Protein backbone atom coordinates (compact mmCIF):
# COMPACT_ATOMS: atom_id res chain seq x y z
CA UNK A 1 0.00 0.00 0.00
CA UNK A 2 2.80 2.39 0.93
CA UNK A 3 4.63 1.45 -2.25
CA UNK A 4 1.54 2.23 -4.41
CA UNK A 5 1.05 5.55 -2.62
CA UNK A 6 4.73 6.46 -3.14
CA UNK A 7 4.49 5.58 -6.83
CA UNK A 8 1.29 7.63 -7.27
CA UNK A 9 2.91 10.60 -5.49
CA UNK A 10 5.96 10.32 -7.75
CA UNK A 11 3.77 10.30 -10.88
CA UNK A 12 1.78 13.31 -9.65
CA UNK A 13 4.99 15.24 -8.94
CA UNK A 14 6.87 14.32 -12.13
CA UNK A 15 4.05 14.53 -14.68
CA UNK A 16 3.85 18.37 -14.60
CA UNK A 17 7.64 18.57 -14.96
CA UNK A 18 7.57 16.25 -18.00
CA UNK A 19 4.70 18.16 -19.60
CA UNK A 20 6.41 21.50 -18.99
CA UNK A 21 9.58 20.19 -20.63
CA UNK A 22 7.56 18.98 -23.65
CA UNK A 23 5.75 22.34 -23.95
CA UNK A 24 9.07 24.16 -23.73
CA UNK A 25 10.58 21.95 -26.44
CA UNK A 26 7.49 22.41 -28.66
CA UNK A 27 7.48 26.19 -28.22
CA UNK A 28 11.22 26.35 -28.92
CA UNK A 29 10.65 24.29 -32.05
CA UNK A 30 7.86 26.54 -33.32
CA UNK A 31 9.91 29.59 -32.32
CA UNK A 32 12.48 28.88 -35.02
CA UNK A 33 9.99 28.04 -37.76
CA UNK A 34 10.26 30.45 -40.67
CA UNK A 35 7.25 29.20 -42.62
CA UNK A 36 4.98 26.16 -42.82
CA UNK A 37 2.94 24.70 -45.67
CA UNK A 38 -0.13 22.46 -45.36
CA UNK A 39 -1.69 21.12 -48.55
CA UNK A 40 -0.50 21.22 -52.11
CA UNK A 41 -1.50 22.26 -55.61
CA UNK A 42 -0.47 20.21 -58.64
CA UNK A 43 0.76 22.00 -61.74
CA UNK A 44 -1.32 22.79 -64.80
CA UNK A 45 1.37 23.86 -67.27
CA UNK A 46 -0.94 26.21 -69.19
CA UNK A 47 -2.07 29.40 -67.51
CA UNK A 48 -4.13 30.77 -70.40
CA UNK A 49 -4.76 30.43 -74.13
CA UNK A 50 -5.75 33.02 -76.69
CA UNK A 51 -6.50 33.33 -80.38
CA UNK A 52 -8.61 31.27 -82.71
CA UNK A 53 -8.32 27.50 -82.26
CA UNK A 54 -6.47 25.56 -84.94
CA UNK A 55 -7.34 21.92 -85.56
CA UNK A 56 -4.41 19.73 -86.56
CA UNK A 57 -4.61 16.08 -87.56
CA UNK A 58 -1.76 14.14 -85.97
CA UNK A 59 -1.60 10.39 -86.66
CA UNK A 60 -5.26 10.45 -87.67
CA UNK A 61 -6.36 12.20 -84.46
CA UNK A 62 -7.81 15.70 -84.42
CA UNK A 63 -5.90 17.93 -82.00
CA UNK A 64 -6.98 21.47 -81.14
CA UNK A 65 -4.22 23.99 -80.53
CA UNK A 66 -4.16 27.71 -79.92
CA UNK A 67 -1.65 30.14 -81.41
CA UNK A 68 -0.99 31.90 -78.08
CA UNK A 69 -0.39 29.72 -75.04
CA UNK A 70 0.70 31.34 -71.80
CA UNK A 71 2.73 28.95 -69.65
CA UNK A 72 2.11 28.77 -65.90
CA UNK A 73 5.44 30.28 -64.81
CA UNK A 74 5.64 30.85 -61.04
CA UNK A 75 8.20 33.41 -59.85
CA UNK A 76 10.45 32.69 -62.81
CA UNK A 77 10.20 28.87 -62.58
CA UNK A 78 8.79 27.08 -65.64
CA UNK A 79 6.18 24.32 -65.49
CA UNK A 80 6.68 20.88 -67.06
CA UNK A 81 4.98 19.85 -70.27
CA UNK A 82 2.22 17.85 -68.56
CA UNK A 83 -0.32 18.18 -65.74
CA UNK A 84 0.66 16.78 -62.31
CA UNK A 85 -1.50 16.27 -59.23
CA UNK A 86 -0.61 15.96 -55.56
CA UNK A 87 -2.75 14.36 -52.86
CA UNK A 88 -1.17 16.09 -49.85
CA UNK A 89 1.88 18.10 -48.85
CA UNK A 90 3.23 19.23 -45.50
CA UNK A 91 6.42 21.27 -45.08
CA UNK A 92 8.24 23.06 -42.31
CA UNK A 93 11.09 25.49 -42.98
CA UNK A 94 13.31 26.55 -40.06
CA UNK A 95 15.09 29.88 -39.78
CA UNK A 96 18.44 28.08 -40.20
CA UNK A 97 17.29 26.75 -43.59
CA UNK A 98 16.50 23.19 -42.50
CA UNK A 99 13.44 21.96 -44.40
CA UNK A 100 11.32 18.86 -44.11
CA UNK A 101 8.73 18.12 -46.77
CA UNK A 102 6.34 15.16 -46.78
CA UNK A 103 4.50 14.71 -50.06
CA UNK A 104 1.83 12.18 -50.97
CA UNK A 105 0.56 11.12 -54.37
CA UNK A 106 2.58 13.34 -56.75
CA UNK A 107 1.61 11.71 -60.05
CA UNK A 108 1.09 12.55 -63.70
CA UNK A 109 -2.51 13.68 -64.30
CA UNK A 110 -2.46 13.53 -68.10
CA UNK A 111 -0.80 11.96 -71.12
CA UNK A 112 0.01 8.34 -71.90
CA UNK A 113 1.76 7.80 -68.54
CA UNK A 114 -1.15 9.16 -66.47
CA UNK A 115 -1.21 7.86 -62.89
CA UNK A 116 2.54 7.14 -62.75
CA UNK A 117 5.45 8.94 -61.15
CA UNK A 118 7.17 9.38 -64.52
CA UNK A 119 10.40 8.03 -62.91
CA UNK A 120 11.00 11.52 -61.55
CA UNK A 121 13.19 12.84 -58.74
CA UNK A 122 12.14 16.03 -56.94
CA UNK A 123 13.63 18.79 -54.80
CA UNK A 124 12.17 21.81 -52.98
CA UNK A 125 12.62 25.53 -53.66
CA UNK A 126 11.50 28.34 -51.35
CA UNK A 127 11.05 31.82 -52.83
CA UNK A 128 10.26 34.69 -50.44
CA UNK A 129 10.02 37.66 -52.82
CA UNK A 130 6.69 38.69 -54.34
CA UNK A 131 8.37 40.57 -57.20
CA UNK A 132 11.64 40.13 -59.13
CA UNK A 133 14.44 39.60 -58.57
CA UNK A 134 13.53 36.20 -57.09
CA UNK A 135 16.05 34.28 -54.99
CA UNK A 136 15.69 30.48 -55.15
CA UNK A 137 16.54 28.74 -51.86
CA UNK A 138 16.72 25.05 -52.82
CA UNK A 139 17.48 21.63 -51.43
CA UNK A 140 19.98 19.46 -53.30
CA UNK A 141 19.04 19.54 -56.99
CA UNK A 142 19.86 15.83 -57.31
CA UNK A 143 16.48 15.40 -55.62
CA UNK A 144 14.80 12.43 -53.99
CA UNK A 145 12.99 9.72 -55.99
CA UNK A 146 9.22 9.63 -56.14
CA UNK A 147 7.85 6.31 -54.87
CA UNK A 148 5.63 4.39 -57.31
CA UNK A 149 2.58 5.94 -55.60
CA UNK A 150 4.10 9.44 -55.82
CA UNK A 151 5.10 9.72 -52.14
CA UNK A 152 8.35 11.47 -51.19
CA UNK A 153 10.18 12.94 -48.22
CA UNK A 154 12.76 15.71 -48.36
CA UNK A 155 14.86 16.35 -45.24
CA UNK A 156 17.62 18.78 -46.19
CA UNK A 157 18.98 22.33 -45.83
CA UNK A 158 18.12 25.13 -48.24
CA UNK A 159 20.95 26.81 -50.13
CA UNK A 160 21.46 29.67 -50.02
CA UNK A 161 20.03 30.07 -46.52
CA UNK A 162 16.64 31.83 -46.49
CA UNK A 163 16.22 35.39 -45.19
CA UNK A 164 15.20 36.05 -41.58
CA UNK A 165 11.64 36.80 -42.73
CA UNK A 166 9.65 35.40 -45.63
CA UNK A 167 6.69 37.73 -46.20
CA UNK A 168 5.49 36.17 -49.46
CA UNK A 169 6.44 32.47 -49.30
CA UNK A 170 6.13 30.13 -52.27
CA UNK A 171 7.32 26.54 -51.97
CA UNK A 172 7.76 24.71 -55.26
CA UNK A 173 8.41 20.99 -55.68
CA UNK A 174 10.55 20.65 -58.80
CA UNK A 175 12.05 17.92 -60.93
CA UNK A 176 15.79 17.67 -61.53
CA UNK A 177 15.29 19.47 -64.84
CA UNK A 178 14.07 22.50 -62.85
CA UNK A 179 10.35 22.47 -63.76
CA UNK A 180 7.84 22.85 -60.93
CA UNK A 181 5.40 19.96 -60.37
CA UNK A 182 3.56 21.14 -57.24
CA UNK A 183 3.32 24.08 -54.85
CA UNK A 184 2.74 24.18 -51.11
CA UNK A 185 -0.12 26.14 -49.54
CA UNK A 186 1.26 28.50 -46.86
CA UNK A 187 -0.06 27.94 -43.35
CA UNK A 188 -0.48 31.34 -41.72
CA UNK A 189 -0.19 31.85 -37.94
CA UNK A 190 -3.93 32.50 -37.64
CA UNK A 191 -4.94 29.38 -39.62
CA UNK A 192 -6.67 26.75 -37.50
Digit-by-digit pLDDT tens for the chain (192 residues) are: 566 554 444 444 444 444 444 444 443 455 799 999 999 999 999 988 888 888 888 888 888 887 788 899 999 999 999 999 999 999 999 999 999 999 999 999 999 999 999 999 999 999 999 999 999 999 999 999 999 999 999 999 999 999 999 999 999 999 999 999 999 999 987 665
First to last CA, the chain: 47
So what's the pLDDT on residue 66? 79
- Residue 124 CA to residue 184 CA, distance in Å, equals 10
Question: What Rg value do the Cα atoms of the chain yield, rounded?
Answer: 23
Cα–Cα distance measured from residue 178 to residue 192, given in angstroms and rounded to the nearest whole number? 33
H helices present in the chain, as ranges: 2-31
pLDDT at residue 192 in the model: 55
What pLDDT shows up at residue 69? 85
pLDDT value at residue 160: 98
Amino acid sequence: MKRAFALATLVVLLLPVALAAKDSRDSNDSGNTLVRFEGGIGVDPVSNVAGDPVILVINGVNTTTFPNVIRNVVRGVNPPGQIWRIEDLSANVKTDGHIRVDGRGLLLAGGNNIGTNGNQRVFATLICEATPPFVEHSTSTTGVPLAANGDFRIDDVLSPAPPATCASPVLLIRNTGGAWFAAGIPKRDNDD
